[in-house]
Amino acid sequence: MAGTYAGIVNSAVGAKLAAQLGLPRPARLRRYAVGAPLIEGPVLVGGLGEAPVAERVGDLLKLEGVDTVTEVAAGERVAAVVADLTEAAVLGELDALRALVAPALKGLRSSGRIIIVGRNPKGANGFAQAATRRALEGITRSIGKELRAGATANLVLVDDGADANVDAAVRFLLSGRAAYVDGQVIRVGAGTPAEPADWAKPLAGKVAVVTGAARGIGASIADVLARDGATVVCVDIPAAGDSLARTANRVGGTAFQLDVTAADAGQRILDHATSRHGGLDIVVHNAGITRDKLLANMDEGRWASVLDVNLGSILRMNEVLLADGGVRDGGHVVLVSSIAGIAGNRGQTNYGASKAGVIGLVDALSADAALVARGITVNAVAPGFIETEMTAKVPFATREVGRLLNSLSQGGLPVDVAETIAWFSQDANAGVTGNVLRVCGQSLLGA
Ligand code: NAD
């Protein structure tokens, strides 16, 4: 756990002082490790009415060997709660959520999970149902802000008829893969998910390309995709050739030196993936730069380079990568946005434009009839404060504030972003497209 503040409040003297002053103490988060159980139970599973999703989740947890309970006995500590409110139609029914979750909160284990499952308000039948469904979002985000000790709360909204697609989202959120995903909403829709033969290798047999893979978040994405079974083409600029080669060697993939702004970048990536690995299934557009200046001082060069690296290059590469003969049917495209693209950031009009544009692109591509017909999903992550060389350049005070202003009181790690990207890349996730998932520890920025 990096950071001056974290170091102080977790020291012997600092801890006492922090307790006296009521200052937050960042907890060590439970992160995924190969071979670790999905979660150490028990998990409280329940909900309103027939609670069809709770039943599915109960079965899933049984298969995984995780104990479940339907209520919390006095003094009992649970690791997670899965609350199925898919049948909530009127405000009064929200009390079922309070009654289920409240008794579990005091004894919730560290890095615990609250997962609420509801239906998409857009599919509601009438005003009361729409309001009730949307209320779940406010409850979830508020619980996220009340939890301590690395615990998180997230909401999964499932379309009618898509319950079978919810498993991958619940698995992800319960696991250590979602350590830094907090206070977020995941929308699950139609699609034909395919379960992997082995949940420890959900990307086995897939070929992925990751841009900006020489260092930081991109290197971590390559690590995690390879750990999950994919063959990874690692792309970065020639100037980063040495570290690019290190990443590629580590993950057993190939290094491909390429500036993503080159006019033929998409074609060259496709040719490389096809000739060396037989095709392409997963595209992760991660390469990005910042060139910060207040708009009053922003020159044309800073403006244009950020927009071109972070967004223009993606548009050009997609023309080839997403055309027939590009990414294989059933493939997955993941883009990297930022909370600066949601909330804006001082000195980052160029960067904010590019990262908001990424979200616009996800909206449009995920609704594109040709891509939907080919079963290609398009999603984005929007990282908050992640400990990388990019954020190490941020001035000290701003950096400490960025680290702490979130519900988990700490910055995230590149692996946290990488885990979410790897999850978006799973075939078990065919029902998840058009999502922009913040990996930000429920950052107050852009909340
Ligand atoms: P980083 O600067 O550590 O790494 C970016 C990588 O992209 C570098 O290896 C760089 O050489 C490569 N790259 C830059 N321009 C390129 C080009 N034209 N062609 C090919 N490769 C190129 O940054 P990071 O922190 O790892 O960020 C990765 C992504 O995450 C970026 O899109 C960034 O905007 C986004 N992001 C980061 C944070 C954070 O807190 N670090 C937060 C939000 C979003």
SS3 344: coil
Protein residue with its CA nearest to atom 28 in ligand 1: 217
Residue 124, phi then psi, degrees to nearest 5: -70, 155
ipTM metric: 0.99
Active-site residues, by number, are: 351
- Please tell me the predicted confidence (pLDDT) of residue 41: 84
Q: How far is the CA of 285 from the centre of ligand 1 (A)?
A: 10
Instruction: Please report the atom of ligand 1 found closest to the CA of residue 313.
Output: 18
Q: How far is the CA of 416 from the centre of ligand 1 (A)?
A: 15
Protein residue with its CA nearest to atom 33 in ligand 1: 288
- Please tell me the predicted confidence (pLDDT) of residue 445: 80
Q: What is the pTM of this model?
A: 0.95
Q: Which domains are assigned to the chain?
A: 27-188 (3.40.50.720), 207-439 (3.40.50.720)
Cβ–Cβ under 8 Å, residues 67 and 174: no
Q: How far is the CA of 444 from the centre of ligand 1 (A)?
A: 22
| Binding site membership of 213 for ligand 1 (Cβ less than 6 Å) | no
Q: Specify the DSSP class assigned to residue 164.
A: G
| Binding site membership of 309 for ligand 1 (Cβ less than 6 Å) | yes
pLDDT 10s per residue in the chain (447 long)? Answer: 556 666 666 666 656 655 665 566 789 999 999 999 999 989 999 999 999 999 999 999 999 999 999 999 888 999 999 999 999 999 999 999 999 999 999 999 999 999 999 999 999 999 999 999 999 999 999 999 999 999 999 999 999 999 999 999 999 999 999 999 999 999 999 988 899 999 999 999 999 999 999 999 999 999 999 999 999 999 999 999 999 999 999 999 999 999 999 999 999 999 999 999 999 999 999 999 999 999 999 999 999 999 999 999 999 999 999 999 999 999 999 999 999 999 999 999 999 999 999 999 999 999 999 999 999 999 999 999 999 887 888 888 888 888 899 999 999 999 999 999 999 999 999 999 999 999 999 998 865
- Cβ atoms within 10 Å of 38's Cβ, excluding its own: 22
Ramachandran assignment for 436, one of left (phi > 0), alpha (psi -120 to 50 degrees), beta (any other): beta
Q: How far is the CA of 289 from the centre of ligand 1 (A)?
A: 5
Q: Specify the DSSP class assigned to residue 348.
A: B
Cβ–Cβ under 8 Å, residues 170 and 234: no
Rounded to 5°, angle at Cα 393 from 260 and 402? 105
Q: Which of 202, 277, 204 is nearest to 234 (CA)?
A: 277
Q: Which of 317, 336, 354, 390 to mutate to test the pocket of ligand 1 (most atoms within 8 A of CB)?
A: 390
Rounded to 5°, angle at Cα 331 from 328 and 337? 130
68: which strand partners? Answer: 43
Q: How far is the CA of 371 from the centre of ligand 1 (A)?
A: 27
| Binding site membership of 286 for ligand 1 (Cβ less than 6 Å) | yes
Q: Which of 236, 317, 345, 348 to mutate to test the pocket of ligand 1 (most atoms within 8 A of CB)?
A: 236
Q: Which of 364, 262, 353 is nearest to 311 (CA)?
A: 353
Cβ–Cβ under 8 Å, residues 85 and 94: yes
Cβ–Cβ under 8 Å, residues 317 and 259: no
Protein residue with its CA nearest to atom 42 in ligand 1: 383
| Binding site membership of 288 for ligand 1 (Cβ less than 6 Å) | yes
Cβ–Cβ under 8 Å, residues 136 and 85: yes
| Binding site membership of 383 for ligand 1 (Cβ less than 6 Å) | yes
Cβ–Cβ under 8 Å, residues 99 and 48: no
Q: How far is the CA of 29 from the centre of ligand 1 (A)?
A: 24
Residue type at 34? V
Q: Which of 223, 235, 237 to mutate to test the pocket of ligand 1 (most atoms within 8 A of CB)?
A: 237
Q: How far is the CA of 229 from the centre of ligand 1 (A)?
A: 24
Helix 349-366, helix 313-321: angle, nearest 10: 20
Q: End-to-end CA distance of the chain, in Å?
A: 23
| Binding site membership of 260 for ligand 1 (Cβ less than 6 Å) | yes
Cβ–Cβ under 8 Å, residues 435 and 156: no
